[in-house]
Amino acid sequence: MADRYNPFEFAEFVLMALQGDIQTEQMLQLDEMMKTQPSCVRAYVELMELCTELSSLGSVEIPPALGDSAGSQDMLLSLLAEEEKTAPAVEVPRQEIPQEPMPAPESKQKKTKPSKLSFIWLAANAAAIVLVIVLLKLLPKPPVMDVATLVDQLGTQWTQPGPARENGSRLWTDEGPLTLQQGLVKIRYDTGVNLLIEGPACFTIQPAGVFLEYGRLYAAVSPAGKGFRVETPRSQFLDYGTEFGILTQKDGAAELHVIRGMVELYTGSRGRFLSRQMVSEQKAVRYIPQTDQIQNIPVQKEAFVRSIHSASNMIWRGKMSLSLADIVGGGNGFEGGLPNVGFDAATGKKQTRLSSCYPFEGPAGFRKVLDHPFIDGVFIPAAAGRKTPIASEETITASFPSAAERLWGYIFNGAFHQGTPYDRTPLKLGGRIYGTPEYPALTIHSNQGITFDLAEIRKALPGLSIAAFRAAVGISQTATEALESRTAQTDSPEQFDADHSEADFWVLLDGQTVYHRRLSSREDAEDLNIPIPESFRFLTLAVTESDDGISYDWALFGRPELTLEPAEK
């Protein structure tokens, strides 16, 4: 087993043990070093032999093989105990008193005979500095190790630029502090521990942990990495198989938010811990070093970045649903999507100005979208129920019996209708206006469809799986209001029958229809919650006319989202 220890820490623990100042946690760490690191055992044995030599009380003979014995600690204690029993009495030499007149003592001092153990103790303390220096010389320098990999980064600006800051580069224990001025980095230890560090931050890679001088960090610890430590200048956090976030400031103040498992908090600096507290799942604390206070605070589940994916600008903070409307608007599903941005189903190109919406004819077919990795493409269904490719895999096709190769407008992030003779009109379902930050929507006028690439989304969210698709679907109630208003102003009321506003809604997985329903503006919206098995790659949403034309087919998918859940391990 390779030695992984800090020689200064080991020396400090041994010295505190000799002085009787060692605390329980430090003793446990020292014990762990002695059990697992052969070089620590050898150094400890040699140190104790030197200590007895310095006591001027004789030496303890230690067999050469003791340093390699698994029970060296117990054997050493036994030998020291035996020496205490058999060592001869110690005579303290009388010192010569200078020949000067001295006042007579008021009372006769009682002479006491110091014990042999007291001399050993005094000698050990008197030689403490020498012992530490010797101990550090006895211990070999810890090996320089590459223990982690810089997996990904997003928007980073390092104080120390260079090839070592590239994705895929190895991180070593002798690199010293790394200063991230801004951005996000994902680091994976060889033990399977994943770290997300958010700048500004300053940190140092350690063999089985990290020293965080300041910054924001999220750790997901694998079973193999149990015992991972995060140290700060004024506190330390010991993992027990967890996911947790830490925020530490330059003044030493720190916050701990435990999402899963348990974390033990030690306050104070290394070797001088003041207190300890176990923090359990879904709990959070704030440590104030100036007063050594630990305060309970509300846990913030989405305060720390947990995963990034630079190829798609994905930043995941723990939210368990992903907005398809945000993706169509150019975002990553959690943030960044712009309102009233979408795609032209006839070309597959991104559209940022939607004021020029107008009706037009086909042609039918699938168009690959190149502007977003999560969107496979858009399409116009073929008329007369002919099969239409709906994904980049040509074998995935579907037929839409009521489709016609004519349409209006675009597929976009938002909810409004605009066109002759109406000004921009918001769309609403169940009396609620959609297309707002609280209630985003995906507008798909009839005879258009869009396909999302679930495989690419899963790739950007390691550790999570897609559970289901949810949305409220229907024809906007404002279409009925517009029809009724139009009817009151015309000489041909029958031409504007409100039943004229209806369309067919479709949801498909890899070309298989999992939802199909014809809805009108007079009907209530339907709430969808469609499970998505892991084996499916493409999710398709489409709207087609119902043989009555495309007029007033103000269709929308309200709050369209993919629900997420932790992937099975």
pLDDT tens digit string along 398-410? 999 988 888 888 9
- For residues 434 and 534, membership in a common domain is answered with yes
- Identity of the residue numbered 498: A
364 vs 381: CA distance, rounded Å: 5
289 vs 412: CA distance, rounded Å: 51
pLDDT tens digit string along 504-526? 999 999 999 999 999 988 889 99
- For residues 171 and 289, membership in a common domain is answered with yes
Domain count, the chain: 3
Average pLDDT over every residue of 417-428? 80
Q: Which helix (H) or strand (E) holds 79?
A: helix 72-86
Weakest-pLDDT range from 56-60, 94-98, 288-292: 56-60
- Cα within 13 Å of Cα(200), Cβ side: 5
- For residues 11 and 26, membership in a common domain is answered with yes
Residue 96 clears pLDDT 70, i.e. is over it: no
Q: Which residues contact 377 (CB under 8 A, 6 or more apart)?
A: 348, 366, 367, 368, 369, 391, 392, 450, 451
- For residues 419 and 520, membership in a common domain is answered with yes
478 vs 428: CA distance, rounded Å: 7
- For residues 124 and 18, membership in a common domain is answered with yes
207/358: higher pLDDT: 207
- For residues 290 and 368, membership in a common domain is answered with no
pLDDT (0 to 100) of residue 40:
75
Distances (CA, A) of 379 to 415, 446, 457: 20, 12, 20
Helix, strand, or coil (residue 172): strand
Mean pLDDT of the chain: 81
- For residues 397 and 352, membership in a common domain is answered with yes
pLDDT tens digit string along 292-310? 899 999 999 999 999 999 9
- For residues 218 and 359, membership in a common domain is answered with no
By residue range, what is the domain housing residue 258?
146-297
DSSP string, 312-360: GTEEE-S-SEEEHHHHHTTS-SSS-PPTTEEE-TTT--EES--TT--EE
Q: Is residue 290 part of a domain?
A: yes
372 vs 374: CA distance, rounded Å: 6
Angle at CA of residue 445, ends 444 and 450, nearest 5°: 35
Taking a C-beta distance cutoff of 8 angstroms, is the pair 205, 221 a contact?
A: no
- Identity of the residue numbered 333: G
162 vs 510: CA distance, rounded Å: 44
Beta-bridge mates of residue 426: 416
Residue 359 clears pLDDT 90, i.e. is over it: no
- For residues 513 and 369, membership in a common domain is answered with yes
pLDDT (0 to 100) of residue 319:
94
Query: Given the DSSP bridges, would you call strands 263-269 and 272-279 parallel, antiparallel or unpaired?
Result: antiparallel
- For residues 383 and 453, membership in a common domain is answered with yes
Residue 275 clears pLDDT 80, i.e. is over it: yes
Average pLDDT over every residue of 537-557? 89
Q: Is residue 302 part of a domain?
A: no
